[in-house]
Amino acid sequence: MPPDDQQPLITVIGIGADGWTSVPEASWRRLLTADVILGGARHLAMLPDTLDVVREPWPSPLRDNLPALLERHAGLDVVALASGDPLVSGIGSTLIALLGEGAVRIEPALSSVALARARMGWSAEASTVVSVVGRDLHAVLRELAPGWRVVVLSSDASTPGDLARLLVEQGYGASGMTVLGNLGSGEESRVDATAATWSGPAPDLNVVALDLRGPVVGAWAAGLPDEVFEHDGQLTKRDLRASALARLAPQPGQLLWDVGAGAGSVGIEWMRAHPRSWTIAVESDDERAARIGRNAARLGVPSLRVVRGRAPDALADLPAPDAVFVGGGATAAGLLETCLERLAPGGRLVVHGVTLETETLLAGAYGEHGGELTRLSVEHAAPIGSFSGWTPARAVTQWSWSKP
């Protein structure tokens, strides 16, 4: 549904928790000229009875039914209501993704994030925001770091309690936890506790400010300790994983295929590198596929997608990747050819092999396509009687290539 002569198809007006008192006069006038007003039940209930306009609540599920709703009102003057800033975990982002930037006009109110930071005295530069509105709470775990500050946009009244339990499980029970309710309204509330002492209850509309206190559990740089992953031995080990990720070069908004994912370690670390990086892990073994999901949740990237199937057939319907890692099974007929073909321009491919057959395949690929062919051998110190010596791990051949 493209914009008509660059005129917005829909205007989204943000409303604070104090209702209409803080809405600018221009936004009020915009409502008076609208043919249709869309919004949640709470926002529509705020409209005065004297306003003669069609009011329609958001459909459920929203994303599936939103195109039909907008099509039904095509050609009419449509206004949507939203909480605070519609681009902070709000309907504004959804509408822009569907209609395009030129089709949506945003008139924001003060966001709950800005109000929470103001109440806490936290700068934007020294804290981050994680939304768990309609999302898995485990996403907060990516941010675990001693001394880091996180503003959590809660899904509902149950979020603070669930979050407190999750932090305690991760050794972060000493973290300061401030639950800010109904920010900007006459019923605004504040409860200060730690994750270990939080007892609730919380208002339905709340934001949680976390001052994290706990151990170093991982880094955003590549190379998490092997022991943080649940695995059955099918794991790209720490040093090899760091080498692969350096060449895969995670970028915001880009997609990685982790093919023959095993424990999912490479795909998980790709997503930990940036909140907008995403991974599809392809694994044919059902038990390993389930294990990838558990590892992803525990390490703060629960949105990692797992596809159960055998490559290359399992790749056929997947969106084109910006990077591909093949940790095992590279000799499967047609797999390398499929990855090379589907990889987006500028994309990166890294393949590991430990067998002579895979090494021969990768040497041939290097000869045909170029790139970088590396043999990696890692040794670890281990006891030899009363002394110590070097124990070598199996050498790995790594082929990396960037698509023009």
Cβ–Cβ under 8 Å, residues 130 and 150: yes
Place of tokens 């949506």: 104
Q: What are phi and psi of 109, to 5 degrees?
A: -105, 180
Cα–Cα distance measured from residue 393 to residue 391, given in angstroms and rounded to the nearest whole number = 7
* Residue 368 and residue 247 in one domain: yes
Comparing C-alpha atoms, which of 16, 18, 210 is closest to residue 120? Answer: 210
Q: Is residue 220 part of a domain?
A: no
The reported pLDDT for the residue numbered 391 is 93
3-class DSSP state for residue 369? Answer: helix
The answer to whether residues 359 and 244 belong to one domain is: yes
Q: How many domains does the structure of the chain reveal?
A: 3
87 and 129 part of one domain = no
Helices (H), 185-252: 238-248
Separation of alpha carbons 63 and 185, rounded Å? 29
Q: Please tell me whether residues 144 and 272 are part of one structural domain.
A: no
Last residue of a domain, one of 184, 211, 238: 211
**Residue 243 is assigned to a structural domain of this protein:** yes
pLDDT of residue 2: 42
Instruction: Please identify, among 94, 110, 126, the residue that sits at the C-terminal boundary of a domain.
Output: 110
The per-residue pLDDT string of the chain (404 residues; one tens digit each, 9 = 90 and over) reads 444 445 678 999 999 887 777 788 888 888 889 999 999 998 998 888 888 899 999 999 999 999 999 999 999 999 999 999 999 988 999 999 999 989 999 999 999 999 999 999 999 999 999 999 989 999 999 999 999 999 999 999 999 999 999 999 999 999 999 999 999 998 999 999 999 999 989 999 999 999 999 999 888 889 999 999 999 999 999 999 999 999 999 999 999 999 999 999 999 999 999 999 999 999 999 999 999 999 999 999 999 999 999 999 999 999 999 999 999 899 999 999 999 999 999 999 999 999 999 999 999 999 999 999 999 999 999 999 999 999 999 999 999 999 99
Give yes or no: residues 120 and 80 share one domain: no
- C-alpha distance from residue 102 to each of 5, 9, 66, 108, 317 (Å): 9, 8, 18, 16, 31
Burial label for 377, CB within 10 Å (0-12, 13-18, 19+), is exposed
User: Is residue 179 exposed (0-12), middle (13-18) or buried (19+ Cβ within 10 Å)?
Assistant: buried
Residue 270: which domain range?
Answer: 226-402
168 plus 231 within the same structural domain: no
Residue 41 lies in a domain: yes
Q: What are phi and psi of 35, to 5 degrees?
A: -90, -35
Same structural domain for residues 277 and 327?
Answer: yes
CB 255 within 8 Å of CB 319: yes
Q: Is 42 within the bounds of a domain?
A: yes
Residues 52, 147, single domain; the answer is no
pTM higher than 0.85: yes
* Whether 250 and 356 share a structural domain: yes
Which CATH number goes with the domain that contains 176?
3.30.950.10
Residue 38 lies in a domain: yes
Beta pairing, strands 379-384 & 372-376: unpaired
pLDDT at residue 1 in the model = 42
Residues 230 and 345 in one domain: yes
| Distance from C-alpha of 103 to C-alpha of 266, rounded to nearest angstrom | 38
Structural contact between residues 163 and 209, judged by C-beta atoms closer than 8 angstroms:
no
Look at residue 51 and tell me if it is in a domain: yes
- Which of these, 364, 381, 374, lies nearest to 395 by C-alpha position? 374
Please state the φ and ψ torsions of residue 19, each to the nearest 5 degrees.
80, -140
Question: Is 261 in a helix, a strand, or coil?
Answer: coil
2 lies in some domain: no
Based on the domain organization, do 96 and 148 belong to the same domain?
A: no
**Where is the domain boundary, 93, 110, 127?**
110
Q: Where are the alpha helices (DSSP H) in 324-355?
A: 335-342
Burial bucket for residue 52 (CB in 10 Å: 0-12, 13-18, 19+): exposed
> What pLDDT, on the 0 to 100 scale, is given for residue 4?
44
